[in-house]
Structure 1
Amino acid sequence: MSLFQSLAAVLTPAGLLWTVVIIGIATFLHELAHYALARTQGVAVKSFSVGMGPVVFRRPWRGTEWRLSLLPIGGYVEIDGMALEPGDDGTPHQPVRGFAALPAWGKIAVLLAGPLMNLVVAIGLMTLSFSTQGVPAPDRVRIESVVANSAAQRLGLRGGDVITAIDGRDIPESLVVQGRTVAGWEAVRDTLTRAGRHRFTVERAGATRQVAFDWQPTLNGQRQLLGIRYGPDVRPATLPVAFATSWQVTAEAVPQVLRSFAGLFQRFLTLDLSRDENVSGPIGTAEIVSRAAALSPWALVQVAILLNLSLAFFNLIPIPGLDGGRILLVLIGALRGRPLSFSQEQAINLAGFAFVMLLMVFVVVRDVSRFF
C-alpha cells in the first residue's frame, strides 16, 4: 500500500476540512489577541495573516494589511517595533518606537494575550460542553459500546450500562494504581488485571443487576479482553458547576501536558521516531479530527478544546521564539534594569525559532514514518 493510500485510509475529506477550520480559528483568535493588546496600547500592527507562506489575498483596513496566506498552518501579526527598521542611510537600526518603547508590563501583556486567548476559548468550550452534556462522574463507569462476540456480550453487558460498584464496593472518586493516582473509573482496568471471580453492579434503565464472572487476565500466554469501551459517567451540571469543573480539568491537565512535551523533546534529542500517543503531528491531528467528525459535533468540540489547550501551553514554554521565550527575555531585561540589546534578542529568538522549526520537522517525519 502506497503512502497516499495509507493516508486516504485514515483521513477523510470532512476530517481534513474540520482540521483546517479548527486550527484556523484557534490560530486566528491567538493572533487577534496579540493584535488587540498591541493596538490598545497605541502600537501599530503592519500586517495580520491567517496562514503562512505566499499571500493569496490582502486588504488594508485601519492601518493594517489583512492577509490570507496559502498554507493553513498558523498565522502571524507584524507588530511595529518588533523588527529592525531601515534608517535614513538604508541600514537596519534598532527600533525605538512601537513595541520596543513599551514598558516591560506592556510587552508582556501583548505576548501573553495569545496563549491566554486560547486558554479562554478552551475553558469556554469546556463550560459549554459540561453544561449541556454533563460533568464527568469518576465514581461511575459508563459502558460506551460492547464488542460483538466478546466476553462482555456473553455476560449480557450493553452499551449505556453504568457500573456503580465492583466486587461489592463503591467505585471511589480516585484510586492509586501502581504508585500513581488515577480517576476512579479506571478501577475497571485495575480489576481486570487480577484473576479470580469478580462482580459488577450495573444500572440499566433505572434497574440494578449483578453481573458476576470468572476472570483470567492471560490465557495460554495471551492477554484477555473483556470487550467493552468505557469511560466516566456524567451527571447534569449547572453553569457555575460546569465553569468550575472546566478550571479543575485545565489545572489537572497541566502536569500531563508538560510530561507530554518533555517526552517529545527527549525523543527529538535522541531521534526516537517511535509513536507517542500523547503528541500528534499534523497527520495524527487530522486523523483524530477525522474520527471525531464521524462520531458527533461534540467530539469535534472536544478536539477543539485539546487543540486550544495545547496551543496555549506550548506557546508558554520558555523557548526563545515562542511567546513564553519572549516573555522570559523581557523579564530578564526587567531584572537587569535594562533590556537586552535588540541584536541579542534577535540572535536568541532566531536560535529558538530554528529549534522549533526542527522540532516541527521531526514531528512531521515521525508522523509519516508510521506508514512505512
Structure 2
Amino acid sequence: METVISFIIIFGVLVFVHEWGHLIFAKRAGILCREFAIGFGPKVFSFKKNETVYTIRLLPIGGFVRMAGEDPEMIDVKAGYHVGLLFNEQGEVNKVVINNKDKYPDAKIIEVEHADLEHEMIIKGYELSDEETLTLYKVSDESYFIVDGQEVQIAPYKRQFASKTLWQRTMAIFAGPMMNFVLAFIIFAFLGIVHGYPVNEAKLGDLTPDGPALAAGFQKDDTVIAINDTTVSTWEEIVAIIQASPSEELLFHIERNGQSMNIPVTPKADEVDGETRGIIGVYMPMEKSIVTAIPRAGVETYTWTKEIIIGVGKLVTGQFSIDMLSGPVGIYKSTEVVAESGIFLLMRWAAVLSINLGIINLLPIPALDGGRLMFFAVEAVRGKPIDRHKEGLVHLIGFALLMLLMLVVTWNDIQRFFL
C-alpha cells in the first residue's frame, strides 16, 4: 500500500509540475486554457476555477493543458442556425444559447445570417418575429455558448494559441519540461539542507544501531585524528583502513568536543563480491548548509541530466534495446524498491524521474513538447508557420505511435516482473 501511495504522489507531483509550467506561461501570454488535466481517459474528479476546468482522469499516463485554438473549436455557429442571445449590461451578447432555448425565456431568438466569433466578434441575424430586419449584434470578448445547460467559453482569436508570438508559444510549450528541471533542482537543494550532502572529511556520520562502532562508544561527528598511529585526514582514508582490517582490532584516536580520546574497535567481517572486507557501521559525514546545498543541487541536476542524455543517445544508436525501457509498471516496481530505503532516497528518485520526464518531453518526436518546438524552429527559419492541419496530422500519428510504444514497454515490464 505504501508503494501505491508513493507512486501516486510522485507521478502526480511530476505531471502536475510539468503541466503547471504549460498553464502558467500560457495564461501569462493571454491564452485561454480550457482544461488542466492529470491523466487521460474518463474524468474521475473535476472543478472549475476562473476560466479553467481542473480534472483528474483515470489513466495515469501523463496529463495535458487544453489551450484554445490548438484543436478545432467544438461549436461553430453557421448561417441558418436558430440561437438565443443573452446580453450584458453594456448591451453586448455574453451568452449564445445553442439548444434548449425554451429554458431561457429572456433570450432573443434569431436566425443567423452571419457569425464571426473569432476576429470581428459579431453575429448578424433576423429576429423570428421580424424576418425583414437584419441586425448586427456585438459579442463580448468574455462570452459563452450554452449547450445542454453547460457553459463553454468562446475564444476570440486573440485568446487562441496561434495568435501569440513565436516566443510566447515557444515558452508556453517549453515551460513544461523546464519546470521538471526546476523541480529536480528544488528537491536536491531541499535534501541538501535537510539531509545534507556527503563530505570527504575525517569525521563520523550516522551510526547503525547494530554496528561495532556504536557498541565501542563512538558518536556521530567524532573527528578521527589517527588509526593505529596512521594519521588520516579524509573519509576515504578511514574507509580504506577499516575495509583492509576485518576482524582485526583498530585503535582510533579521535577528538570529541575539544577532548582527545582513544577508542578500540574490531571491524566486522563482511562478504562483498566474493571479497572479505571490514565494516564498523558508520555512514559518511553529511554537511547541512544552504550555501553548500544550492550549488551542489545545480551540480547534481546537471550530472543526472548528462547521464540520462547519454542513456537516450545509446538507445537511439542501438547500444540499448527497447527491452531495457521501463513504462509505468517498471517505474512502479523501481519505486517499490526505493521506498524501502527511506523518504530521502525516495525524494532523490523523484528528482531523477523529474529530470527524465523533462528530457524525454524535449525529444524532437511528434506529439511531445520537443516535437512542437521542432515545428516552431522550422517556423522561425521559414518565416511563417506550417499549415495547422498538416502539423496536427503529424502530431496525431506521433501520439498513436507513442501509445503503441507505451503498450509494448508496459507488456515487457509485465513479463519481466510478473510472468
Q: TM-score normalised to the size of structure 2?
A: 0.63
User: Structure 1 regions of 5+ residues with no counterpart?
Assistant: 1-12, 173-183, 195-199
Q: CA RMSD in A?
A: 4.6
1:309 alignment partner, one of 355, 368, 379: 355
**1:235 maps onto 2:281 in alignment:** no
1:51 Cα offset (Å): 1.7
User: Contact 2:376–2:385 (CA<8 Å) still a contact in 1?
Assistant: yes
Q: Which residue is 1:249 aligned to?
A: 300
Going from structure 1 to structure 2, the CA distance change for 1:299 and 1:253 (only over 3 Å counts) comes to closer
Question: Secondary structure of the equivalent of 1:370?
Answer: helix
Q: Measure the CA separation in 2 of the matches of 1:31 and 1:293.
A: 25
Q: Measure the CA separation in 2 of the matches of 1:202 and 1:34.
A: 57
Question: Secondary structure of the equivalent of 2:69?
Answer: coil
Q: Measure the CA separation in 1 of the matches of 2:265 and 2:39.
A: 54
Deviation string 1:230-278 (CA, Å, 9 cap, x unpaired) is 98653232x132111101111122221012223445669955x3xx4xx
Specify the code of the residue in structure 2 equivalent to 1:113.
A
Specify the code of the residue in structure 2 equivalent to 1:236.
K
Q: Measure the CA separation in 2 of the matches of 1:352 and 1:227.
A: 54
**1:331 maps onto 2:393 in alignment:** no
User: Contact 1:268–1:359 (CA<8 Å) still a contact in 2?
Assistant: no
Going from structure 1 to structure 2, the CA distance change for 1:84 and 1:234 (only over 3 Å counts) comes to same
Deviation string 1:187-219 (CA, Å, 9 cap, x unpaired) is x89xx9x9xxxxx99898967899999x9x99x
Specify the code of the residue in structure 1 equivalent to 2:15.
T
2:169 alignment partner, one of 83, 95, 107: 107
1:306 Cα offset (Å): 1.6
Going from structure 1 to structure 2, the CA distance change for 1:85 and 1:297 (only over 3 Å counts) comes to same
Specify the code of the residue in structure 2 equivalent to 1:105.
W
2:55 alignment partner, one of 67, 85, 90: 67
User: Contact 2:314–2:320 (CA<8 Å) still a contact in 1?
Assistant: no
Percent identity among equivalent residues?
26
Counterparts of 1:17-96 in structure 2, within 5 Å, are 17-85=5-73
Q: Which residue is 1:347 aligned to?
A: 393
Going from structure 1 to structure 2, the CA distance change for 1:161 and 1:85 (only over 3 Å counts) comes to same
Q: Measure the CA separation in 1 of the matches of 2:345 and 2:362.
A: 26
User: Contact 2:177–2:359 (CA<8 Å) still a contact in 1?
Assistant: yes
Question: Secondary structure of the equivalent of 1:295?
Answer: coil
Question: Secondary structure of the equivalent of 2:365?
Answer: coil
Counterparts of 1:177-326 in structure 2, within 5 Å, are 223-224=274-275, 226=277, 233-237=285-289, 239-265=290-316, 271=322, 273=323, 276=324, 280-326=326-372
1:288 Cα offset (Å): 2.8
Question: Secondary structure of the equivalent of 1:257?
Answer: helix
User: Contact 1:162–1:233 (CA<8 Å) still a contact in 2?
Assistant: no
Q: Measure the CA separation in 1 of the matches of 2:351 and 2:251.
A: 33
1:364 Cα offset (Å): 1.5
1:129 Cα offset (Å): 0.6
Q: Measure the CA separation in 1 of the matches of 2:282 and 2:71.
A: 52
Q: Measure the CA separation in 2 of the matches of 1:116 and 1:311.
A: 10
1:360 Cα offset (Å): 2.1
User: Contact 1:53–1:71 (CA<8 Å) still a contact in 2?
Assistant: yes
Q: TM-score normalised to the size of structure 1?
A: 0.70
Q: Which residue is 2:190 aligned to?
A: 128
1:82 Cα offset (Å): 1.3
Specify the code of the residue in structure 1 equivalent to 2:301.
T
Q: Measure the CA separation in 2 of the matches of 1:48 and 1:297.
A: 29
Q: Which residue is 1:176 aligned to?
A: none
Higher Cα radius of gyration: 2
1:31 Cα offset (Å): 0.9
Going from structure 1 to structure 2, the CA distance change for 1:351 and 1:267 (only over 3 Å counts) comes to farther
User: Contact 1:142–1:231 (CA<8 Å) still a contact in 2?
Assistant: yes
Q: Measure the CA separation in 1 of the matches of 2:326 and 2:321.
A: 18
Of Structure 1 and Structure 2, which has the larger fraction of its residues in helix?
1
Going from structure 1 to structure 2, the CA distance change for 1:302 and 1:230 (only over 3 Å counts) comes to farther
Deviation string 1:27-52 (CA, Å, 9 cap, x unpaired) is 11211221111111111011121221
Q: Which residue is 1:361 aligned to?
A: 407
User: Contact 1:48–1:77 (CA<8 Å) still a contact in 2?
Assistant: yes
Q: Measure the CA separation in 2 of the matches of 1:15 and 1:203.
A: 44
Q: Measure the CA separation in 2 of the matches of 1:231 and 1:264.
A: 36
Question: Secondary structure of the equivalent of 1:298?
Answer: helix
Question: Secondary structure of the equivalent of 1:84?
Answer: coil
Deviation string 1:158-210 (CA, Å, 9 cap, x unpaired) is 9x9999999x89899xxxxxxxxxxx97xx89xx9x9xxxxx99898967899
1:78 Cα offset (Å): 0.7
Deviation string 1:266-317 (CA, Å, 9 cap, x unpaired) is 669955x3xx4xx543223222322333332222221221221211122122
